[in-house]
Amino acid sequence: MRKNFKMQDLDCANCAAKMEEAIRKIDGVAYISISFMAQKMVIEADDSRFDEIMQQVAKAVRKVDKHCEVIL
Amino acid sequence: MTKKQKRSALRIALSVVLLAVCAVTAHFVQLPQWAVLLLFAVPYFVSGFPVLAEAAGNIVRGQIFDEKFLMALATVGAFVVGEYPEASFVMIFFQIGELFESMAVGKSRRAIADLMDIRPDRARTVCDGQINEVDPEEVQVGMYIQVLPGERVPLDGIVCEGSAALDTAALTGESLPREVGVGDAVISGCINTNGVLLLQVTKPYEESTVARILELVENAGIHKAKSEKFITRFAKYYTPCVCAAALLLAVLPPVVTGQANVWSVWSDWIYRAMIFLVISCPCALVISVPLSFFGGIGGAGAKGILIKGSEHLENIARCKTFVFDKTGTLTQGNFTVSDVLYADGFTEKDVLYYAATAEQHSSHPLAKAVCAESERIGESKNVHEKAGFGVSATVDGKLVFVGSEALLRENGIAVPDNNTSETAVFVAVEGRYAGCIALRDRVKEDAKQAIAELRSLGVKRICMLTGDREEAALRDAKELGIDEVYAQLLPQDKVEAAQKIRSAITDGSLLAFVGDGINDAPVLAAADVGFAMGAFGSDAAVEAADAVLMNDRLQSLVTAVAVSTKTTRIVKQNIVFALAVKFAVLLLSPLGFANMGIGIFADVGVCVLAVCNALRAMKIKS
């Protein structure tokens, strides 16, 4: 399933790249792209575990920048 | 400025004042070393507190190569070697850079949001004479909505009552208003300038033109350009490498030269290493690339050119071969009768009369042109249409065939050979060839100029694909200055023709295809860059294309190429400039030719210049 999420307070372009890197390593994520300018994330992940994966994604995002939040 | 930005600006201003006071004090008053340190610690902490706090937090979370951490380390290092004012200086400039960056990004986001401000906030439904204001998303297909002068059309629909001039500038970049009346289709996002319109809704909001344009533009950043991917990959290795080099630079020379017991040697090398840390952050590069592409996509959007992603914007400039579909793209798609040939025993009027009468109910563009030309249209009976060939009918008791040469031959009617080189409709009456009607589709007024301008922008090869006869195609091609013509193609042959053209490209450049989306969605998808022309008529075309031209003008194509060329040039300038400055400092600093000031310029200064340059991508000359 491919879904779009808005991201709040994504302040640095390099952080967006780091987040992508970290999310790509999460098991079950097939595709991830974060647009720093549009403050958006497109993610494709296993349908059955989507919610659980999104929890991990939110955690990975906060690890790079604690102010940044994925609006689930 | 946002609240956060204001706070940051205040903090910077306060730190600058404090730093000035400290510098003056230290200059005029003889103070012991520890007092000077304490004195300069004040502006340092005032300016650097958020950075230091965040750096500490990042270490706890295991993010060591974070720019804030590196800045903290560089400035603490400067304190250690006794460069107190410089430590505050670096911190203040770092924050000025950050503030500037966030303002520039915010500005360009807002500018693009304004350009794309086409979202309707309400729709006025009319039901049994009652008018209700609702959210456009709640309106269902088939319902009636009213649009008053000055209002934005909220949903796609068909005019049931009234007429008006619509301002489509926000969608198509076209400044002339479009007149609509009963029966005309209206797309959402236009502004009704004068009349009151009653529309019947044809599409739900999610599928309406406005919703699809917004979705397309908002998701454009997701398809990243090659240069964007390159720069993030580069950043991933650049920072750790520079940090490692800084460590080596601080430790190796004192040890190797056997002066490990001399503090002044240590402090000299640590200072040089700190300059490395200051420039180790790749922010200028990483931010300026997506900022440029975002600006380019937004600026093009304001001109009615929707580009689906940075990747495509970057690719447009690499297209040196342009392949055009003919009908509806290079030509207007409206046929007019240019000539009527007739056999013995018939007149020009007879031929037109029989053809028009037989074809009067057909929706084929050629049939419509014939009907428009004939003075008289009679009554037809027993009409049979054979798709792709023509019609047979009984007119005034006579059996009439109207259509292609093949249709007549199939029915055993002899057709003379040298008739016409044009697209033609053949007519037979009572088993006898009566004549043929030649039709012409005129080329668009701006086509010739647009093609010449494409060439001046570096396009090398221009080809044309068409289902038309070769002679007609060659004549148009000659008029427009097209290099290669592939004529008499069936729709399914077009992909093959495009692939053939593609295989002749040997220099690594790309192929663009421009079509109106009717019959050519597969080619749009197969081309490196597919341009769908003339808007949102065909869903399949919008889906398959990489860029959508909202108006019918070929001039938009020239603008798209110009925007792409400009944006990619800006991106290249930024990458080359930033890397050159950073590497120069990386070379100069170990040799002792650089100081912190130069380091700050290489970091913040380059960032500010790169961002300013990137903002240029948004401005587009018409």
pLDDT in tens, B173-190: 777 888 898 988 888 888
CB pairs under 8 A between A and B: 63
Mean pLDDT of A9-22: 87
Per-residue model confidence (pLDDT) at position B385: 81
Does the distance separating the beta carbons of B286 and A38 come in below 8 Å?
A: no
Per-residue model confidence (pLDDT) at position B571: 94
Per-residue model confidence (pLDDT) at position B388: 67
Among B609, B610, B586, B608, which Cα is nearest to B598's? B586
Pick the CATH number of A2-71 from 3.40.50.1400, 3.30.70.100, 1.10.645.10, 3.30.565.10: 3.30.70.100
Least confident of B216-230, B240-254, B313-327: B216-230
User: Using CA atoms, how far apart are residues B309 and B16, in angstroms rounded to an integer?
Assistant: 42
More confident position, B541 or B502:
B502
Would you call B55 an interface residue with chain A, using a CB distance cutoff of 8 Å?
A: no
Mean pLDDT of B36-54: 88
Distance from CA of B573 to the nearest CA of A (A): 19
Element (H, E) at B71: helix B67-80
Portion of chain B with pLDDT greater than 70, in percent: 98
pLDDT at B210 over 70: yes
What does each C-alpha distance from B345 to B337, B349, B429, B432 come to in angstroms? 21, 12, 11, 10
Does the distance separating the beta carbons of A36 and B287 come in below 8 Å?
A: yes
Would you call A51 an interface residue with chain B, using a CB distance cutoff of 8 Å?
A: no
Query: Where does B279-341 have alpha helices with state H?
Result: 283-302, 310-316
Per-residue model confidence (pLDDT) at position B409: 82
Q: What are the residue boundaries of the structural domains of chain A, listed by start?
A: 2-71
Structure tokens at B259: 């002066």
Distance from CA of A49 to the nearest CA of B (A): 23
Per-residue model confidence (pLDDT) at position B337: 85
Element (H, E) at B94: helix B84-115
pLDDT at B421 over 70: no
Which residues are within 8 A (CB) of B81 and not within 5 positions of it... i.e. 6 or more apart?
B267, B268, B270, B271, B274
User: Using CA atoms, how far apart are residues B564 and B562, in angstroms rounded to an integer?
Assistant: 5
- CATH code, residues B303-331+443-564: 3.40.50.1000
What does each C-alpha distance from A2 to A31, A32, B73, B211, B298 come to in angstroms? 8, 9, 41, 19, 25
> Residues of B numbered 87-116 whose beta carbons fall under 8 angstroms of chain A's beta carbons: which are they?
102, 105, 108-109
- CATH code, residues B333-441: 3.40.1110.10
Among B31, B8, B33, which Cα is nearest to B83's? B33
Per-residue model confidence (pLDDT) at position B335: 83
Element (H, E) at B502: helix B493-503
For chain A, the DSSP string reads -EEEEEEE----HHHHHHHHHHHHTSTTEEEEEEETTTTEEEEEE-STTHHHHHHHHHHHHHHH-TT-EEE-
- pLDDT bin (cut points 50, 70, 90) of residue B172 is confident
Among B537, B354, B338, which Cα is nearest to B439's? B338
pLDDT at B416 over 90: no
More confident position, B65 or B464:
B464
- Say how many C-beta atoms besides its own lie within 10 A of residue B476's C-beta: 22
Per-residue model confidence (pLDDT) at position B536: 54
Per-residue model confidence (pLDDT) at position B419: 63
Burial of residue B332, with CB atoms counted within 10 A of its CB: 0-12 exposed, 13-18 middle, 19 or more buried: middle
Residue B325 annotated in active site: yes
Asked if residues B385 and B391 have their Cβ atoms less than 8 Å apart, the reply is: yes
Per-residue model confidence (pLDDT) at position B570: 95
Among B80, B76, B77, which Cα is nearest to B45's? B76
Would you call A22 an interface residue with chain B, using a CB distance cutoff of 8 Å?
A: no
Burial of residue B143, with CB atoms counted within 10 A of its CB: 0-12 exposed, 13-18 middle, 19 or more buried: middle
Sort out which chain B residues have CB atoms less than 8 A from A18's CB and list them.
Answer: 63
pLDDT in tens, B116-155: 777 888 899 998 888 899 998 889 999 999 999 988 999 9
User: Using CA atoms, how far apart are residues B30 and B493, in angstroms rounded to an integer?
Assistant: 89
CA B123 to chain centre: 29
User: Using CA atoms, how far apart are residues B487 and B501, in angstroms rounded to an integer?
Assistant: 14
Least confident of A56-60, B545-549, B592-596: B592-596
- pLDDT bin (cut points 50, 70, 90) of residue B552 is confident
Mean pLDDT of B255-271: 85
Q: Which residue has the tokens 């779009």?
A: A4
pLDDT at B297 over 70: yes
**Order of strands across the sheet with B305-307?**
B305-307, B547-549, B529-533, B510-515, B319-325, B461-465, B484-486
Q: Which residue of A has its CA nearest to B223?
A: A33
Does the distance separating the beta carbons of B67 and A13 come in below 8 Å?
A: no
pLDDT in tens, B63-113: 777 788 888 888 888 888 888 888 888 889 888 988 888 888 888 888 877
- Say how many C-beta atoms besides its own lie within 10 A of residue B121's C-beta: 9
Pick the CATH number of B140-203 from 2.70.150.10, 3.50.30.30, 3.30.420.40, 3.40.50.300: 2.70.150.10
pLDDT in tens, B346-386: 888 888 888 888 888 877 778 888 888 888 888 888 888 87
Per-residue model confidence (pLDDT) at position B319: 95
Catalytic residue among B66, B325, B468, B476: B325
What does each C-alpha distance from B267 to B72, B78, B260, B273, B336 come to in angstroms? 17, 9, 11, 10, 86
Does the distance separating the beta carbons of A4 and B221 come in below 8 Å?
A: no
Q: What are the residue boundaries of the structural domains of chain B, listed by start?
A: 140-203, 303-331+443-564, 333-441
Which residues are within 8 A (CB) of B526 and not within 5 positions of it... i.e. 6 or more apart?
B495, B498, B499, B513
Q: Which candidate in B4, B63, B217, B230 is best for mutational testing of the A interface (most A CBs within 10 A)?
A: B63
Strands (E), B566-622: none
Strand partners, B396: none
Strands (E), B135-247: 144-147, 157-161, 164-167, 178-180, 185-186, 191-192, 197-201
pLDDT at B251 over 80: yes
Question: Average pLDDT over chain B, rounded to whole?
Answer: 86
In this predicted complex, what is the ipTM?
0.86
Among A20, A17, A24, A19, which Cα is nearest to B289's? A17
Mean pLDDT of B338-350: 84
Would you call A42 an interface residue with chain B, using a CB distance cutoff of 8 Å?
A: yes
- pLDDT bin (cut points 50, 70, 90) of residue B59 is confident
